[in-house]
Amino acid sequence: MSIKDYLKDRTLFLLINFILFIIICGIMLLINISIKIIFLIFCIWFFPVLFYIIVEFIKQKSFYDELNNLMESLDKGYLLSEIMKEPEFIEGKCLYDLLKQANKDMHEHVKKYRDMEHEYREYIETWVHEIKTPIASARLIIENNQNEITKNINYEIKKIEEYIEQVLYYSRSNNVSKDYIIKEVSLATLVRSVVKKNSRDFISKRISINIDSVEGTVYSDVKWLEFILNQVIGNAIKYSRERNGKVKIFTIQNKDNIVLTIEDNGIGIIEKDINRVFEKGFTGENGRKFGKSTGIGLYLCKKLAKQLGLGITLTSKMGEGTMVSIIFPLGSVNLMH
pLDDT of residue 334: 44
Residue 142 has pLDDT above 80, yes or no: yes
Q: Are 207 and 172 in contact (CB under 8 A)?
A: no
pLDDT of residue 323: 93
Lowest mean pLDDT among 71-80, 133-142, 167-176, 200-209: 71-80
Nearest to 299 by CA among 198, 197, 228, 222: 228
| Claim to verify: residue 188 and residue 323 sit in the same structural domain | yes
| Claim to verify: residue 86 and residue 189 sit in the same structural domain | no
pLDDT of residue 327: 94
DSSP secondary structure letters along 94-118: HHHHHHHHHHHHHHHHHHHHHHHHH
Answer whether 0.75 is exceeded by the pTM: no
CATH of the domain at 314: 3.30.565.10
Instruction: pLDDT band for 229, please (50, 70, 90 cuts).
Output: very high
| Claim to verify: residue 198 and residue 308 sit in the same structural domain | yes
Distance, C-alpha 6 to centroid of its chain: 41
Q: Are 179 and 169 in contact (CB under 8 A)?
A: no
Average pLDDT over residues 279-308: 77
User: CA-CA distances (angstroms) from residue 49 to 72, 93, 326?
Assistant: 34, 23, 69
User: CA-CA distances (angstroms) from residue 287 to 180, 209, 321?
Assistant: 31, 24, 16
Average pLDDT over residues 190-216: 90
CA dihedral 103, 109, 115, 117 (to 10 degrees): -110
Which position has the higher pLDDT, 226 or 282? 226
pLDDT of residue 28: 82
User: Which residues have CB under 8 Å from 152's CB, separation 6+?
Assistant: none
Q: Are 320 and 265 in contact (CB under 8 A)?
A: yes
How do strand 321-329 and strand 208-213 relate by DSSP bridges?
unpaired
Taking only the tens place, the pLDDT of each residue in 159-184 is 888 888 888 888 777 765 556 788 89
| Claim to verify: residue 319 and residue 189 sit in the same structural domain | yes
Phi, psi of 220 (to 5 degrees): -165, -165
Average pLDDT over residues 179-201: 88
Residue 78 has pLDDT above 70, yes or no: no
Q: What angle do CA 170, 176, 178 make, to 5 degrees?
A: 130
| Claim to verify: residue 99 and residue 223 sit in the same structural domain | no
Does 13 fall in a domain?
Answer: yes
pLDDT of residue 337: 38
Residue 185 has pLDDT above 50, yes or no: yes
Does 151 fall in a domain?
Answer: no
Taking only the tens place, the pLDDT of each residue in 100-125 is 888 888 878 888 888 888 888 888 87
* Boundary (domain end) residue, out of 106, 121, 138: 106
Question: What percent of the chain has pLDDT above 70?
Answer: 90
| Claim to verify: residue 102 and residue 184 sit in the same structural domain | no
Could you give the CA distance from residue 222 to residue 92 in angstroms, rounded to a whole number?
Answer: 55
Average pLDDT over residues 88-99: 77
Taking only the tens place, the pLDDT of each residue in 241-291 is 878 889 999 999 988 899 999 999 988 888 888 888 888 877 776 665 655
Could you give the CA distance from residue 299 to residue 283 in angstroms, rounded to a whole number?
Answer: 11
* Boundary (domain end) residue, out of 55, 76, 106: 106
The conformation of residue 198, written as its DSSP 8-state character, comes to: T
| Claim to verify: residue 101 and residue 184 sit in the same structural domain | no
| Claim to verify: residue 87 and residue 205 sit in the same structural domain | no
Count of structural domains, the chain: 2
| Claim to verify: residue 323 and residue 190 sit in the same structural domain | yes
Does 111 fall in a domain?
Answer: no
Q: Are 105 and 98 in contact (CB under 8 A)?
A: no
Q: Which range, 13-22, 264-273, 319-328, is most confident?
A: 319-328
Does 307 fall in a domain?
Answer: yes
| Claim to verify: residue 99 and residue 190 sit in the same structural domain | no
Q: At what angle do helices 11-30 and 35-73 cross, to 10 degrees?
A: 170
Could you give the CA distance from residue 89 to residue 1 in angstroms, rounded to a whole number?
Answer: 16
pLDDT of residue 255: 86
pLDDT of residue 225: 92
Question: What percent of the chain has pLDDT above 90?
Answer: 17
Does 122 fall in a domain?
Answer: no
User: Mean pLDDT over all residues of the chain?
Assistant: 82
Could you give the CA distance from residue 315 to residue 312 in angstroms, rounded to a whole number?
Answer: 10
| Claim to verify: residue 100 and residue 17 sit in the same structural domain | yes
pLDDT of residue 44: 83
Which residue range is the domain that position 30 belongs to? 3-106
* Boundary (domain end) residue, out of 91, 106, 121: 106
Does 31 fall in a domain?
Answer: yes
pLDDT of residue 7: 75
The conformation of residue 220, written as its DSSP 8-state character, comes to: E
Does 237 fall in a domain?
Answer: yes
Which position has the higher pLDDT, 26 or 292? 26
Radius of gyration over alpha carbons of the chain, in Å? 35
Does 35 fall in a domain?
Answer: yes
Instruction: pLDDT band for 293, please (50, 70, 90 cuts).
Output: low
| Claim to verify: residue 230 and residue 322 sit in the same structural domain | yes
